[in-house]
Amino acid sequence: MKKIIYSIVLILTVFVNQSCNEDLLDQVNPNTKTVTEFWLSETDAEQAVNSIYAAFYKPGSFARWIYFRLDLTSDEGFSNSPWIELADWTRFQYINYDFWEGNRVTWRDTYKAIWRCNQVLANVPGIEFQDAAKKERILAQAKFLRGLHYYYLAILWENVPIILEPSSPEVRPAGNTLEEVWVQVEKDLTEASQGLPAEWDAENKGRPTKGAAMAMLGKVHMQQREWQQALDAFDYLVTGEGKGFYDLEANFKDNFTHEKENNIESVFEIQYSEKNTGADNETQGANMGNNRAQFFAPRGIGWSDGQARYWAVRQFKKEMTKDNTLDPRLQHTFLYDSLEEDFGDKTYGRNWEWNDDEAWFRKYQRDYFRSNEDYFSQVNIRLIRFADVLLMYAEALNELDNTADAYQYVDRVRTRSNMNPLAIAYPEIGNNKDAFRERLKVERVLELCGESVRWADLKRWGDLESQAGVDKIKERDPDFNNFVVGKHVRLPIPRMDEANNVNLDQNPEY
């Protein structure tokens, strides 16, 4: 009995002594730091801003599903996926607003990226830096990335909550108007442009530059049809102090492979890698590759959930080069039924299946060095190319009744592909602003098809605002038979978010 009592007393003594030692209980988990343990050093700030870039590797973002919204919902693409609900979300058949792959995951991952931006912008100002310029660049990157993500929220959903502070689950933000979202995006990009460098050193290639911020700002003004403000923003890259940093690559194909990334034509591109082949999560080994190639590859090579509309292939064949050959951009834009006949091109060893009048997007596919696709493509996505900037610059000039000056910027893009100057190929256009605009719509398809700009183009041109405009699109894309003017120009807000937030109103007509 005494031995039992002695043992109990000894155990209690040890427990009391340990309980009195607060240091034993107050342990820091190095893998899960709290807010008070983080946001203390320059290293913390660098890690935090880098975490924003990691959002590009999430499936709702440019790693996978956003292409279904930007490319396949437009008249350039469609889906024949056996997954009916997935295909329905490319043809305006929105039944379940919480459909994960079609709507909710992109909403979630975009706001997750914005939350990380807000964390940086709220906490980094309080950190002491030895180099004030370094601190400014970190904050500028966060502003650029927040502006970029809000740009795509505006393009897809339009009326979305503007959240500018680190939020918590109990926050119930109201939706903002599209006009209010544009104001905020302009503010973020303008301030970002003031803190970003004209170029980065080799170690930091891929981070946004001042030119990237000015290009994004120009795109925002273009969507609002603020032509002079757009021209002013693009001027930095085209005729201003940033002119020397941007030009067209000699080889069109070099914009879509991993062999010449971050080149002189790239204004901003998302960096992908096949280094990590893990799952889509937040672990250290999470996937850093791009999944687009797997989902857009032809049957027998990938899932073939996304295809190109064949009218675009025919569009390329309407005009020959100066040497009376096919436009070389066609070869690098599509995989299609007569590719081998037209160019002698045996892509993927021709192990893919096709029918007559079928095409797939070739940009960002890896047929140039392998015979299959997977979820881990290392090919960077060129989110903004200088060719796009030149064509928008021409568009803005035309809308400002300066059509004569606009020709040179379109010709600069056409010349690379050995096409005749626009005035020689289409002399009937002259200085007719409407005729020039219609031709520019074609030029953007020939240069940029499958690069996730078409949906924004259709909205900017007003082609989705009237039944007459939609009827013209129907002629080349039957999915637009389902399009309801005033409704499908924007996505529905996910039902779960609407249900959890009494202050958030659903988009019109949903």
Residues in contact with 286: Cβ distance below 8 Å, sequence separation at least 6, in sequence order: 54, 57, 276, 278, 279, 280
Q: Does residue 257 share a domain with residue 310? A: no
Q: Does residue 199 share a domain with residue 150? A: yes
Structure tokens at 225: 């049809």
At residue 30, the pLDDT reads 63
H helix runs in 81-131, sequence order: 84-88, 105-123
Helix (H, G, I), strand (E, B) or coil at 80: coil
Q: Does residue 148 share a domain with residue 80? A: yes
pLDDT, tens digit, for every residue of 387-399?
999 999 999 999 9
Q: Does residue 394 share a domain with residue 298? A: yes
Q: Does residue 166 share a domain with residue 93? A: yes
Residue 36 lies in a domain: no
Q: Rounded to the nearest 5°, which phi and psi values hold at 381?
A: -90, 120
What's the maximum distance between 2 C-alpha atoms anywhere in the chain?
A: 111
Q: Does residue 492 share a domain with residue 472? A: no
- What range does the domain containing 192 cover? 42-271+488-500
At residue 347, the pLDDT reads 86
Identify the burial level of 111 via C-beta atoms within 10 angstroms of its C-beta, where 0-12 means exposed, 13-18 middle and 19 or more buried. buried
Q: Does residue 303 share a domain with residue 207? A: no
At residue 168, the pLDDT reads 84
Q: Does residue 256 share a domain with residue 140? A: yes
What is the pLDDT tens value at each position of the chain, 510 positions in all?
A: 333 333 323 333 333 344 445 555 556 666 667 777 899 999 999 999 999 999 999 999 999 999 999 999 999 999 999 999 999 999 999 999 999 999 999 999 999 999 999 999 999 999 999 999 999 999 999 999 999 999 999 999 999 999 999 988 888 999 999 999 999 999 999 999 999 999 999 999 999 999 999 999 999 999 999 999 999 999 999 999 999 999 999 999 999 999 999 999 999 999 999 998 888 888 888 999 999 999 999 999 999 999 999 999 999 999 999 999 999 999 999 999 999 999 999 888 888 888 999 999 999 999 999 999 999 999 999 999 999 999 999 999 999 999 999 999 999 999 999 999 999 999 999 999 999 999 999 999 999 999 999 999 999 999 999 999 999 999 999 999 999 999 999 999 999 999 999 999 999 999
At residue 27, the pLDDT reads 61
pTM for this model (two decimals): 0.93
pLDDT, tens digit, for every residue of 236-269?
999 999 999 999 999 999 999 999 999 999 999 9
CATH number, residue 371: 1.25.40.390
Q: What percent of the chain has pLDDT over 70?
A: 94
- Count of domains forming the chain: 2
Q: Tell which residue, 180, 248, 250, has the closest CA to residue 220.
A: 180
**CA 452 to CA 469: how far, in whole Å?**
20
Q: Does residue 493 share a domain with residue 473? A: no
Name the strands in the sheet holding 334-336, side by side, starting at the edge strand that comes first in the sequence: 77-78, 307-308, 359-361, 334-336
